[in-house]
């Protein structure tokens, strides 16, 4: 089952965002805590209840200011706090997947960075289990080689500590300068995972910014998704997330119908 929906509420607020998702026939929505966790528990419960009634699957994106590889105690502590606050709200939203950018290499080797992030995440997992929050930490594939978060690193981390991952296909595209074999990538992935997609601008250093998603850009991935039919949620992170999520869903539906006609 491939579920498609937008990132954020496009300024509507989360309750109205959920209603719009349902009205448009979309399947899911990512609640964005981009610049901080500014949602109280009561509000999270209300949004979660409405989403459940409307059959909209929720996920959460933790704040951007996170670096679990930081050697500065204050920054590391603040990063963990932001993730735990996101997890708490996700639990009350009924959102399983909590997405975040895990950290940066800076002056460290890839191995040192991995070790620091792994240690921090194991500690977070213990706190989540202690609080009985029904959430999964899903570090995201990042769009720049200077950031921790290659596909290989995250798959190894998933195997190592049992976390989830967020497969941002547009970040993968930018990270590898537009050379992505989606068939090969999907064969490496588990059958069930959380994903992001949008159009993207990139340069020699990787991702520059997200842009509108065109059907032409999405179709190569869509064809491979229809072929292997994974159990995923794919979130549109374009500047027009609702409109582009709808285009993505229609593209997938058309390809599924096309596939059935050829069988």
Residue 24 has pLDDT above 90, yes or no: yes
Tokens of 25: 């026939």
Residue 42 has pLDDT above 90, yes or no: yes
- pLDDT at residue 106, rounded to an integer: 87
- Give the percent of the chain with pLDDT over 90: 93
Separation between Cα atoms, residue 125 and residue 19, nearest integer Å:
32
Q: What is the mean pLDDT of residues 10-32?
A: 97
- pLDDT at residue 248, rounded to an integer: 98
- pLDDT at residue 187, rounded to an integer: 96
- pLDDT at residue 118, rounded to an integer: 98
Tell me if 70 sits within 8 A of 112, measured CB to CB: no
Separation between Cα atoms, residue 59 and residue 57, nearest integer Å:
7
Residue 238 has pLDDT above 80, yes or no: yes
Q: What is the mean pLDDT of residues 196-207?
A: 96
- pLDDT at residue 262, rounded to an integer: 73
Q: What is the mean pLDDT of residues 32-61?
A: 96
Separation between Cα atoms, residue 163 and residue 151, nearest integer Å:
14
Tell me if 63 sits within 8 A of 42, measured CB to CB: no
Q: What is the mean pLDDT of residues 168-175?
A: 97
Under the phi-then-psi rule, with left for phi > 0, alpha for psi from -120 to 50, and beta for the rest, what region is 139? beta
Separation between Cα atoms, residue 178 and residue 201, nearest integer Å:
10
Residue 178, number of CB atoms within 10 A of its CB: 9
Residue 103 has pLDDT above 90, yes or no: yes
Name the residue with tokens 């937008």: 6
Separation between Cα atoms, residue 173 and residue 163, nearest integer Å:
23
- Give the percent of the chain with pLDDT over 70: 100
Domains of the chain: 2-262 (3.20.20.150)
Give the pTM. Answer: 0.95
Separation between Cα atoms, residue 197 and residue 182, nearest integer Å:
13
Tell me if 235 sits within 8 A of 196, measured CB to CB: yes
Half-sphere exposure (Cβ direction) of 9: Cα atoms closer than 13 Å: 17
Using one digit for the tens of pLDDT, what is the confidence trace for 43-57? 999 999 999 999 999
Q: What is the mean pLDDT of residues 216-227?
A: 96
Look at residues 67, 68, 63, 65 and name the one whose alpha carbon lies nearest to residue 32: 63
Of all residues in the chain, what percent are helix, strand and coil, respectively (each to 5)?
50, 20, 30
Output 182 or 263, whichever has higher pLDDT: 182
Look at residues 49, 101, 105 and name the one whose alpha carbon lies nearest to residue 79: 101
Residue 146, number of CB atoms within 10 A of its CB: 11
- pLDDT at residue 263, rounded to an integer: 59
Q: Average per-residue pLDDT in the chain?
A: 96
């Amino acid at each position: 089952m491939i579920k498609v929906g937008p990132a954020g509420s496009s300024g509507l607020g989360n309750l109205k965002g959920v209603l719009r998702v349902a009205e448009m026939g979309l399947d899911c929505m990512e609640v964005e805590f981009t610049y901080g966790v500014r949602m109280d528990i009561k509000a999270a419960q209300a949004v979660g209840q409405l989403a459940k009634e409307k059959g909209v699957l929720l996920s959460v994106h933790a704040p951007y200011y996170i670096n679990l590889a930081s050697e500065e105690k204050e920054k590391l502590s603040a990063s963990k706090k932001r993730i735990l606050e996101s997890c708490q709200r996700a639990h009350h939203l009924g959102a399983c997947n909590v997405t975040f950018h895990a950290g940066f290499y800076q002056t460290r080797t890839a191995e040192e960075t991995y070790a620091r992030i792994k240690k921090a995440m194991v500690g977070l997992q213990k706190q989540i289990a202690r609080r009985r929050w029904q959430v999964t930490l899903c570090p995201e594939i990042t769009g720049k080689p200077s950031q921790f978060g290659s596909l290989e690193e995250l798959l190894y981390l998933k195997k190592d500590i049992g976390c989830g991952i967020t497969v941002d296909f547009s970040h993968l595209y930018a990270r590898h300068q537009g050379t992505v074999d989606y068939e090969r990538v999907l064969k490496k992935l588990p059958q069930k995972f959380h994903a992001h997609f949008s159009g993207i601008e990139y340069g020699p250093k990787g991702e520059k910014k997200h842009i509108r998603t065109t059907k032409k850009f999405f179709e190569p991935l869509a064809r491979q998704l229809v072929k292997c039919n994974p159990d995923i949620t794919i979130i549109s992170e374009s500047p027009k997330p609702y409109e582009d999520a709808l285009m993505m869903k229609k593209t997938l539906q058309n390809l599924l119908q096309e596939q059935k006609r050829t069988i």
